[in-house]
Homo-oligomer: A and B are copies of this chain.
């Protein structure tokens, strides 16, 4: 009507039908033999398609990634890859092989240096770096995948999928693809008659292949307590007494690393001795960190919802079903989308490490020669301005941040925890983030900041805690940061009188201001000092991967 140009309206579904038919002879029902997967991809992926390859923090659709590197670039090229994590060499091989061209992602971890080189060589066009939940949001708006290549633990003969403990991103990816005319292909470790439970209904899946090897899973969240230093113990004590107890933090997320592992291992000892059980750390958005086992066994932890699982924790989780989210089959159900949502809106605190912090408190893990991405940190390390429910921790932080004339509101606690020098004596505090250089080199519209300074509430180092909420000006903020930056150039550049004044006002707190004696910060305080201790705490239920066993 009205003479407007009319487009066709069901092209996506028609094109899906065409591709499914083209693939038809390769499949029996939904099942495709692993030897036929390269041919399958050549038939169902068209040049220029947006393809989501499931790369998670842990679980990897590694067989499908490998197959994608083997397609004929004359047939399949100019793909736009969208994926959470680039962690396998194959994830970059598809670009080197001329199959893919553009990339939107969240985290590149071990591939960060090679990624930066490929960008410099103009072999990869980066759309943007995202935080996970942001990327999932775009799957439903302007980055909807045409083809999704995912990994599940098992499938039944109808094509229902069991993702098991490492459900992770799969529901978000599959839902966006399956309901927008896309094609979903799953690699599975086994095909069974009856699944322990259905995680993804067969309706949503077009093809399933039994991969030659089980999918790769990275035990990313396992930290050996043997490697925790006494400086880290000191910092953990300050965190517990100066922040967790101070605000009464009951719901939280911990970033990955030894700093936060030390906190987890001090809950049953130091925090217990302060009478904090039941008052802090009750509800978590967290992967099943092995370092959390002693706190769980000691009754600190009421619930844990997880982004993904962790290798070796399966039996322990099943035996602690009251704490974790598990299916009727006993195995965990993780879900990165929901856990990130919980981390954003239902947690009072995010605490994590970073590589560099500038004088305004902006932090980044980007360095000149690596494009690493941020994972979940920008989401969880930001004040959720849409949050409306109150808690004592959130109200107290909000009162501290209040300015005259402003509507009262709450605030999330965002704590950046770093030693003043990281490995190779590189200072954690800098005048200017490397992110500025990277932005210039990689032609990014903004420097890739992980957490913006105005979202950070506290900076914690071995020298003390700087409470940025209490700072009234940019100058005070800078001096509060300098005041905990130790012997770095930034720390040495402090205005001593101003720093002392900030300390008098309680903006900066030293260990002694918190009643913490440095000599008490020993490894003896750790509830577990080795991986073997963790196994013992678990009653033998935790089964660490080989690389973490030295017995």
Contact = CB atoms under 8 A, between A and B. Distances in A.
A339 interface: yes
A343 B138 CA distance: 9
Contact of A303 (B129, B141, B389, B537): B141
A179 B335 CA distance: 11
Interface SS, A side = loop
A516 interface: no
Interface in A369-387: 374, 378-387
A388 interface: yes
A407 B251 contact: no
A321 B13 contact: yes
A344 interface: yes
A179 B323 CA distance: 11
Interface in A424-453: 445-449, 452-453
A513 interface: no
Nearest to A106: B388
Given A342-B140, A409-B446, A333 B389 contact: no
B134 A345 contact: yes
A344 B137 contact: yes
B140 A346 contact: yes
A322 interface: yes
A321 B9 contact: yes
A385 B342 contact: no
A537 B1 CA distance: 7
Contact of A346 (B142, B384, B386): B142
Interface in A325-368: 325-328, 333, 335, 337-339, 341-347, 358, 360, 362
A141 B342 contact: yes
Assembly of this chain: how many copies? 2
Interface string A152-193: 000000001000000000001001101111000000000000
A128 B388 contact: yes
Given A141-B342, A303-B142, A445-B395, A9 B319 contact: yes
A147 to B, nearest CB: 15
Given A181-B322, A251-B142, A137 B341 contact: yes
A283 interface: yes
A512 B424 CA distance: 63
Interface stretch (A72-80, A195-203, A221-229): A195-203
Contact of A337 (B144, B180, B328, B338): B338
A25 interface: no
6 contacts: A12-B322, A13-B321, A138-B345, A197-B201, A203-B327, A385-B455
Interface of A: 1-2, 4-13, 104, 127-131, 133-134, 136-138, 140-144, 160, 172, 175-176, 178-181, 197-199, 201-203, 250-251, 268, 282-285, 297-299, 303, 305, 319-323, 325-328, 333, 335, 337-339, 341-347, 358, 360, 362, 374, 378-390, 395, 398, 405-410, 445-449, 452-455, 474, 527, 536-537, 539
Given A129-B388, A131-B345, A142-B303, 19 more contacts: A4-B268, A4-B297, A12-B322, A128-B388, A133-B341, A133-B345, A134-B384, A138-B345, A175-B335, A180-B326, A181-B321, A199-B201, A201-B201, A379-B386, A382-B386, A383-B385, A385-B452, A385-B455, A407-B453
